[in-house]
Structure 1
Amino acid sequence: MIDGKEAVRQAIYLILNTERYAWLIHSWNYGVELHSLIGQDPDFCIPEIERCVREALLQDDRITAVDDFSFEKHKKSIAATFTVHTIYGDIESETEVTI
């Protein structure tokens, strides 16, 4: 069993790997909306990734802020790293989005 900072780290992973509105088992407030970025221009995707990640993670009451985004463009994806501020301390996190 885990709690505190490790539980939030696990929640971040699950939220960022669950597409919002795709699964009836989850509330419509759970998950991230990144599927619509497939096929889009990378310059359009970067601010959208930031917005979607921030919006998805702030649904968790233990998360107070998400900032310090940095992006790395690849051929068919964008890797994002960012800092998640929680009531237990800061967590460095990352996600990769296929575009």
Structure 2
Amino acid sequence: MFPFEEELEDELQEEEEYYPREYEIDFKTGKLTGRIVEGAKALAMWAFLALQVDRYTFYTYSWDYGSELKELIGHPFSDEYIKSEVTRMITECLTVNPYISGIENLEISKGDDLLHINFVLLTDYGEEEVNV
């Protein structure tokens, strides 16, 4: 009916599908490598950063971004409770991203004041291992 409606429909059809790109992080050192990665690897970088940020702490981030893992440090919780809470907290943190569907093979090891967490990130672009 209106001539601009056809142009608007054409623009919507030409919209490209999102393909994630991020700077690569070395999980062992926590530093940038200078390379850009794409797909599942980029989502793993996003997940690593999201897990490092404390939720509800910084005004820069929305309340949906970040994790609450630091609440577990310094308390004498049982290993079963920690595994249960870490699984819940990680899932809540990461499934905010619409391209992440979940995690598998969660492994947790406790140090004096550290939690070492390894898991496989399930994304729309494949699987990727994450070490936090």
TM-score calculated relative to the size of structure 2: 0.65
Query: Runs in 1 of length 4+ with deviation above 4 angstroms?
Result: none
- The more displaced of 78-87 and 35-44 is 35-44
Cα deviations across residues 16-60 of structure 1 (Å, max 9, x unaligned)? 111111111111100101121121124232221111011101111
Equivalent position to 2:88, from 51, 74, 77? 51
Give TM-score scaled by structure 1 length: 0.84
Q: Is the 8 A contact 1:58 1:64 kept in 2?
A: yes
Q: 1:90 offset after TM fit, Å?
A: 0.3
Q: Does 1:22 align with 2:80?
A: no
Which structure has the bigger radius of gyration? 2
Please name the residue that 2:68 is paired with. Answer: 33
1:46, 1:40 → 2: CA distance?
Answer: 14
- TM-aligned CA deviation for residue 77 of structure 1: 2.1
CA contact (8 A) 1:42 1:73 kept: no
Give the aligned partner of residue 88 of structure 1.
125
What amino acid maps onto 1:41 in structure 2?
A: P
- How far apart are the structure 1 equivalents of 2:71 and 2:111? 18
> Highest relative contact order (Cα 8 Å, sep 6+), 1 or 2?
1
Partner of 1:74: 111
**CA drift at 1:6:** 2.8
Alignment identity in percent? 27
Unaligned runs of 5+ in 2: 1-35
User: Is 1:10 equivalent to 2:45 in the alignment?
Assistant: yes
Give the Cα separation in 2 of the matches to 1:74 and 1:39.
11
Contact 1:71 1:80 in 2 (8 A): yes
**Count of residues in correspondence between the two structures:** 95
Give secondary structure in 2 for the equivalent of 1:93. Answer: strand
Note the aligned Cα RMSD (angstroms). Answer: 1.6
